[in-house]
Structure 1
Amino acid sequence: MASLSETAAGGKGHPREARAPRARRERHSLTKLFALVVCAIVLMPILTLAGIALTGTGEMWPHLVSNVLPRATLTTLQLLAMVSVLSASIGVTSAWLVVAYEFPFRKTLAWALVLPLAVPPYLAAYAFAEFFLFTGPVQTLYRAMFGFQTARDYWFPDLRSTGGVAFVLAFVLYPYVYLTSRIVFIMQGRNIADVARTLGARPSAVFRRILLPVARPAIVAGVALVLMETLNDMGAAEYLGVRTLTLTVFSTWLNRGSLEGAAQIAMLMLVLVFALLLAEQWARRRQRFHAARATHIVARPPRTRLTGWKGPAATLAVLMPVLLGFGVPFYIFGSYASRRIDQLFDPALLRAFTHSVTTASTAAMLAVFVALLLINAARVARSRTVSLLTRFAMIGYALPGTIMGLGLLFALARFDNALDALMREHFDYSTGLLLTGSATAVVLACSIRFLALAEGAIHSGLEKLPPNIDHAARSLGQSSFGSAWRVLLPLLKPAILTAAVLVFVDTIKELSATILLRPFGFNTLATFVYEQASRGVVQDGAVAALLIILTALVPVVLLSGALMRDREAML
């Protein structure tokens, strides 16, 4: 009877009470182990490159320091400075114009300004070269108008220069700054500006002295994203003949045969990446919003209507980034593709399309699956350790594709060689290279790089759900797994779909890591276009380029539609 009373009272004799804490500890241990494994896989390329860089003989280092690194580093820093200034100028100016003023086609241009995100930088470089170089339509029209015969008769900006690469990158990457700064202008900018004007401040002074300081953290965050994409670029810089650090890593390994030198340059690039991450985190720490109530939002005064010549001037100013960032690539590749419709049935293009879709779909499913498990691990464990590991697992998005591809390539090669040696020793059987130089390596690289996109999209969807919905399911007898499977997962389907689309599209566009990791003869749409451009026949890759742009338009159109549905075009 005593034991029964102890059991009824929940004492030491209750087997369920004894098992429950142990089961929770085991689940928490498993979640920590899973988060640790994912974090280790994400950090594996960095650790591999660091090991190679530190254990190398350093024979190439004097040559790199004296002849290669100074010029490549200076070029990269110049490129980063130019791109940051140009993209910030375009993004901030466009954001303020569409938020503060009313002019012709403002509502349409407000979402069209996002369209250049659908154009990968390397495609933009190919298109701009065809459009602005000597035989392109711009210089041809210029010569016809003024009667010039040769290039010696006039001056025209050189696109094959550091400034030319910065021009190309800025006009396809400025939407990052546009989106982040526009959020601030909408949430606070117009209210603050109205108050300042009532105190007698001029519009130019309001913008310069009040609005720019308010939006500075958001602008820095947007520019940091632009610069990380600039560091990731290899195709545009290579095609336009500008030797950046990213291109130097590639050429040092393949052309000079120095793996240690390439790894050491990659470590230098990582210093720049982490500096950008610190700047972005600093910006977010200082970014604070005062959320106005809905009644205040509706009661906001109308935008200032621009009259006379100012209205068309504002329209032209906002239209130019769209025409250059999206219109020029779409026009060039569309015109070439229209004369090569028969390429749609080219076996090589069909194989590249199949490889792209298969690789991107697999990477999207893997990234979404891992992101869901990481989010659930942090939700169940509620541990600072798991949260920290989850944050580390998201660092892959900040890694340039060249660094990711190079580090992962040699990490997988070491794994394959170790496994092959083990099988030879114990079973007299050679496994060969299982992962190195395979499509699996490409999928793994893209999943690591874009895991942060999947996690961010799903986490944003989770934050929109009522905070007590999980507790309600648990109070009705559901376990943590049952609550996640039966309640949260169905509600998160839109966010999961968005995450999958984002990873799919970015994998379709990925070039740097794919070039390093793909098997021999394995082409995606991106590498197919790259090969045609390398042979000097960009027009032969026009159909593949147009397929990439049209595929990338899917999330951009979804985002633009969301902007149009928001009240007062709020982003």
Structure 2
Amino acid sequence: LVLMEVMNDFGTVDYFAVRNLTAGLYDVWLGMGNLGGGAQIASVMLIFVAILIMLERLGRRRQAHYQGNRRFQRLPGYTLRGWPATLALLVCMLPLVLGFLVPAGVLLWYAIGYFEQSWTAEFRTYAWNSIMLSFTAAVLALLIGIFLAYSRRLNNNRWLTGAVRLAGLGYAMPGAVLAIGVMIPLSRFDNTIDGWMRDLFGISTGLLLSGTVFAILFAYVVRFLAVALGAVESSLAKVTPSMDMASRSLGHGPMFTLRRVHLPLIRGGLLTAALVVFVDCMKELPATLVLRPFNFDTLATHVYQFASDELLEQSALAALLIVLVGLLPVIGLSYSISRSRDLK
């Protein structure tokens, strides 16, 4: 998972001028205008991702997972005293301080100092674009995830299981690779329709899909469907099959059972899935940077553009807003885990 996330990253490596496959893909595709060369680099990245997935599945093939009656079991405690306690505290605090508190403090300092320059009408437009795109993608991914997970629950055959696994592979694909995979077929579709309309009616339809928000939403849903699907499947797995049997014995169909039985029971998991997808979409840069329409920006692209121009102070407010939104699922999941422990 860490390797896949590192492969997907573009903003960090580009800012620090580190040449990797993702940066090379953008240079060849956008800088040189060579879509074929970019597709070749994307193919190499896809092969690497496929190897990682195969190794991960081979490693888990013979593993057995068992779950006891209790979800959480308290381990025997051991109290540190003196300098070992101080050293342990410093070691545990070091990642938090260097990885979050110091960067967040710098962003907050810049955001306050340059608030008037940053809080503009364009900034509010970028924030609105990010919120609406992320919200729409989260809803679509959640609906598709519910459909796939519930279909598999009703009829768990080999073909449906394969389709569900295939739908979940989008998260393994880097955003740049996904952008090429979306751009090429949509561009050909637009060009085909445009040529057909020119020949028949003498009018040009322009970019119907590839130059619109549809392309971004499509990429978001494909990339983050695995997140929503996994959360929905794990939530449905906690609902005993006797619930389905009881509903069927009363003469109710699958849709009624889903609407009146399953959805109320798993609404917490659905909310968590939607929130995680929302945050991931807010942070997504590689696919957004390529697929966005002209004069259309989000908070992620706004931060990238200002950081590329060394205007870090004016990008701090947008970056801080993304960080604050990213804390929401962390706080929610921490509260949920703490509550589950208290109930146990």
Write out aligned runs for 1:266-345 (5 A).
266-294=42-70, 297=73, 300=75, 302-343=76-117, 345=119
The structure whose RCO (Cα within 8 Å, separation 6+) is larger is: 2
Write out aligned runs for 1:160-175 (5 A).
none
2:30 alignment partner, one of 239, 249, 254: 254
1:490 paired with 2:278, answer no
Q: Which residue of 2 aligns with 1:231?
A: 7
Pick closer, same or farther for the CA change 1:293–1:389 going to 2, 3 Å: closer
Pick closer, same or farther for the CA change 1:402–1:339 going to 2, 3 Å: same
Shifted more, 282-291 versus 259-268: the winner is 282-291
Pick closer, same or farther for the CA change 1:308–1:345 going to 2, 3 Å: closer
Task: Please give the alpha-carbon distance, in whole angstroms, between the structure 2 residues aligned to 1:562 and 1:313.
Answer: 30
Q: Is the 8 A contact 1:563 1:569 kept in 2?
A: no
1:467 alignment partner, one of 230, 241, 251: 241
Q: Is the 8 A contact 1:343 1:349 kept in 2?
A: no
Write out aligned runs for 1:529-568 (5 A).
529-567=303-341
- AA aligned to 1:368 is L
Deviation of 1:255 (Å): 1.7
2:192 alignment partner, one of 405, 418, 421: 418
Task: Please give the alpha-carbon distance, in whole angstroms, between the structure 1 residues aligned to 2:193 and 2:47.
Answer: 33
1:513 paired with 2:287, answer yes
Task: Please give the alpha-carbon distance, in whole angstroms, between the structure 2 residues aligned to 1:460 and 1:509.
Answer: 25
Structure 1 residue runs without a partner (length 5+): 1-224
Deviation of 1:294 (Å): 4.1
Q: Which residue of 2 aligns with 1:408?
A: 182
Q: Which residue of 2 aligns with 1:456?
A: 230
SS at match of 1:437: coil
Task: Please give the alpha-carbon distance, in whole angstroms, between the structure 1 residues aligned to 2:112 and 2:262.
Answer: 47
- AA aligned to 2:92 is V
Superposition RMSD in Å: 2.1
Q: Which residue of 2 aligns with 1:478?
A: 252
Deviation of 1:383 (Å): 2.2
CA-to-partner distance for each residue in 1:169-217, whole Å, 9 max, x for gaps? xxxxxxxxxxxxxxxxxxxxxxxxxxxxxxxxxxxxxxxxxxxxxxxxx
Pick closer, same or farther for the CA change 1:534–1:441 going to 2, 3 Å: same
Task: Please give the alpha-carbon distance, in whole angstroms, between the structure 1 residues aligned to 2:124 and 2:301.
Answer: 13
Pick closer, same or farther for the CA change 1:475–1:269 going to 2, 3 Å: same
Task: Please give the alpha-carbon distance, in whole angstroms, between the structure 1 residues aligned to 2:185 and 2:109.
Answer: 43
Q: Is the 8 A contact 2:118 2:315 kept in 1?
A: no
Task: Please give the alpha-carbon distance, in whole angstroms, between the structure 2 residues aligned to 1:556 and 1:297.
Answer: 22
Write out aligned runs for 1:167-246 (5 A).
225-246=1-22
Report runs of 4+ in structure 1 exceeding 6 Å deviation: none
SS at match of 1:305: coil
TM-score by length of 2: 0.94
Identity, in percent, stands at: 42
Pick closer, same or farther for the CA change 1:427–1:520 going to 2, 3 Å: same
1:358 paired with 2:150, answer no
Pick closer, same or farther for the CA change 1:286–1:304 going to 2, 3 Å: farther
1:438 paired with 2:212, answer yes
- AA aligned to 1:401 is G
CA-to-partner distance for each residue in 1:474-531, whole Å, 9 max, x for gaps? 1111112222222222222222211111111100000000000001111100000001
Task: Please give the alpha-carbon distance, in whole angstroms, between the structure 2 residues aligned to 1:487 and 1:315.
Answer: 46
Deviation of 1:439 (Å): 1.5
Q: Is the 8 A contact 1:510 1:526 kept in 2?
A: yes
Pick closer, same or farther for the CA change 1:290–1:386 going to 2, 3 Å: closer
CA-to-partner distance for each residue in 1:388-432, whole Å, 9 max, x for gaps? 111101110000001011221122101111122233344444321
Pick closer, same or farther for the CA change 1:307–1:376 going to 2, 3 Å: same
Task: Please give the alpha-carbon distance, in whole angstroms, between the structure 2 residues aligned to 1:564 and 1:342.
Answer: 40
Task: Please give the alpha-carbon distance, in whole angstroms, between the structure 2 residues aligned to 1:278 and 1:329.
Answer: 36
Q: Is the 8 A contact 2:118 2:314 kept in 1?
A: no
Pick closer, same or farther for the CA change 1:254–1:536 going to 2, 3 Å: same
2:160 alignment partner, one of 386, 396, 400: 386
- AA aligned to 2:87 is A
Structure 2 residue runs without a partner (length 5+): none
CA-to-partner distance for each residue in 1:444-473, whole Å, 9 max, x for gaps? 111110000011111111111122111211
Q: Which residue of 2 aligns with 1:114?
A: none
Q: Is the 8 A contact 1:250 1:262 kept in 2?
A: yes
- AA aligned to 2:17 is G
Pick closer, same or farther for the CA change 1:288–1:328 going to 2, 3 Å: farther
Q: How many residues align?
A: 344
- AA aligned to 1:415 is F
- AA aligned to 2:314 is D
Task: Please give the alpha-carbon distance, in whole angstroms, between the structure 1 residues aligned to 2:183 and 2:257.
Answer: 39
- AA aligned to 2:32 is R
Shifted more, 314-323 versus 424-433: the winner is 424-433
Shifted more, 451-460 versus 375-384: the winner is 375-384
SS at match of 1:468: helix
Task: Please give the alpha-carbon distance, in whole angstroms, between the structure 2 residues aligned to 1:261 and 1:295.
Answer: 50
SS at match of 1:520: coil
